Every structure is written in C-alpha cells, then in structure tokens.
Amino acid sequence: MNIKIINTPFTRETARSLKCGETIQLTGTIYTARDAAHKRIAELIKKGEPLPFDIENAIVYYVGPTPSKTGQIIGSAGPTTSSRMDVFTPDMIALGLTGMIGKGARCPEVVTAMCKHGAVYFGAIGGAGALLARCVESSETIAFEDLGPEAIRKLKVKNMPLTVIIDSNGNDLYRLGREEYLGSVDHLRGNIFHSIFHVSNHESDYIAHKSSKVTSD
C-alpha cells in the first residue's frame, strides 16, 4: 500500500493533489471541533469577529475526546458523525478550511464547497479512539472551555492514519465503494442466473430426450 506523508499547514495545492481512496499519515497541527463549537464559530463568522484559530489551510477533527487519565496527553479520540457539522462547513471552507476529519457521509452543499475551493474530507477509524489518541503528541484547549469535551483544542499529531473519503473533485469513496459492491452483486446474480438457465436447458433437453424414448418405445 502506498501511504502519502502529509504535513500541516494543509494548503489547497496539497488538498487538490490527493485522490479519493488514498491513505495518508498526517503530521502537524490540527484543531478539534464538534457541533457546539461549530455553532459558535458560525456566530463569529456572521458577526465578522476573529475566529479562535487561523482557519486558512487548517484541518478540523470532528472529535470530543474523553477525559485523559493520569499520564495521558488526551483521552480516547475517535471521530464523531460528520453530518452534524454540514450546515456550518461550506462557510468555513470558503474562509480557507482545507481539511476535515470525521466519519460518515457529507451533504451535497459541503461537497460543492470542497470542489469550488479545494478541500478534502478524511475518514478516521471509527471505534479506534484509543489508537488514534496515541498519535497525539500535545493537546491544548484554546477556546470555548465551558463546552468541556467539545471545547476547541489545538492538537499536535504525528503519523495519524487517515483515508481520503471525498477529494476536491467530489469523488466519494462511500459512493464509489457502494457502486462497486452493487456492480459485483449484479455480476454475481448474472453468473447465478446463467448457471441456473444453463442447467435448466440441460434438464429440458434431458426430459425431452427421455420423453422421445418413451414415445418411441
């Protein structure tokens, strides 16, 4: 497997170079934000006020880590469902956001914004929060501390394993994978039908042959 090494800042040029289905290892600075934090970011954008971090060439990870135990940098840090952030995402992409990490499908408006501005949606391994937490070298709460686990954190990660789910051309691994699966199912059905039809023809020939023998006898 060819794994691409990607470092932050994550420029639009780098985003446009990645293709749906590719595997990467991400190193650098990313920011955590779930739906509550996104709602507040949207309010800041609407008011024209400064955002908690420089959104230009940034990557946001849709995660709300569990509390860290003694000796841990961060608790379990698995991705949350990305569709919760869909309503806020196009405006953030337009302002310079180039990468998002989560799980699950995205709405057409998000994909359109990705194609227009040059952004990528990465998939992290769902259910492997403890494993992903091992990639985090440092964690600092930088905004909305009152949100607890949903506060915005600045993370430094190393060799974080991700898959390009939707690229900047709108190619969607979920859709392509489903189409490939359905294509293979249709192919299998065709083979089964052909086999049954082939056997049925042989049976018909055999029955016709036996009937002709009985008639002639």
Give pLDDT, residue 195. Answer: 46
How far from 64 is each of 69, 76, 115, CA to CA, in Å? 15, 9, 27
Cα Rg of the chain, angstroms: 25
Same domain, 183 and 117: no
pTM of the model: 0.80
**Total residues found in the chain within this entry:** 217
Q: Tell me: pLDDT of 209 over 60.
A: no
- Rounded Cα–Cα distance for residues 34 and 14 (Å): 25
Q: How confident is the model at residue 134 (pLDDT cuts 50, 70, 90)?
A: confident
* 8 and 87 part of one domain: yes
**Structural domain that includes position 200:** 173-217
In this predicted structure, the answer to whether residue 213 has a pLDDT above a threshold of 80 is no
The pLDDT of residue 35 is above 70: yes
**Residue 185 and residue 157 share a domain:** no
pLDDT value of position 170: 97
Q: Is 187 a catalytic residue?
A: no
Q: Which one of the listed residues 38, 117, 187, 194 is annotated catalytic?
A: 38
Task: Indicate the number of domains in the chain.
Answer: 2
- Report the relative pairing of strands 3-7 and 23-32 from DSSP bridges: parallel
Pair (19, 79) in one structural domain = yes
| Arithmetic mean of pLDDT, 145-151 | 94
- Residue 127 pLDDT more than 90? no
Token digits of residue 28: 């650098």
State mean pLDDT over 173-198.
53
Please check whether residues 43 and 143 belong to one and the same domain.
Answer: yes
Average predicted confidence (pLDDT) for the chain:
85
Residue 115 and residue 143 share a domain: yes
pLDDT value at 76 more than 90: no
pLDDT in tens, 55-75: 999 999 999 887 788 888 888
Extended beta strands in 62-199, E state: 99-102, 120-123, 136-143, 152-166
Quick check: 212 pLDDT over 80?
no
Residue burial 127-150, b: 16+ Cβ < 10 Å; e: rest: eebeebbbbbeebeeebbeebeeb
Q: Is 146 in the same domain as 194? A: no
Q: Which residue has the higher pLDDT, 99 or 217?
A: 99
Which among 139, 154, 171 is the end of a domain? Answer: 171
pLDDT in tens, 92-124: 999 999 999 999 999 999 999 999 999 999 998
- Average pLDDT of 2-29? 96
Q: Are both 40 and 140 inside the same structural domain? A: yes
Q: Is the dihedral of CA 2, 164, 63, 125 positive or negative?
A: negative
Coil, helix or strand for 215? Answer: helix
Statement to judge: residues 148 and 182 lie in one domain? no
CATH code for position 65: 3.20.130.10
182 and 91 in a common domain: no
Residues 158 and 201 in one domain: no
Is residue 181 domain-shared with residue 94, that is, in the same domain?
no
Q: What is the average per-residue pLDDT within 29-48?
A: 96
Please, are residues 115 and 137 in contact by the beta-carbon 8 Å criterion?
no
pLDDT over 80 at 43, yes or no: yes
**Which position has the token pair 């749906």?**
20
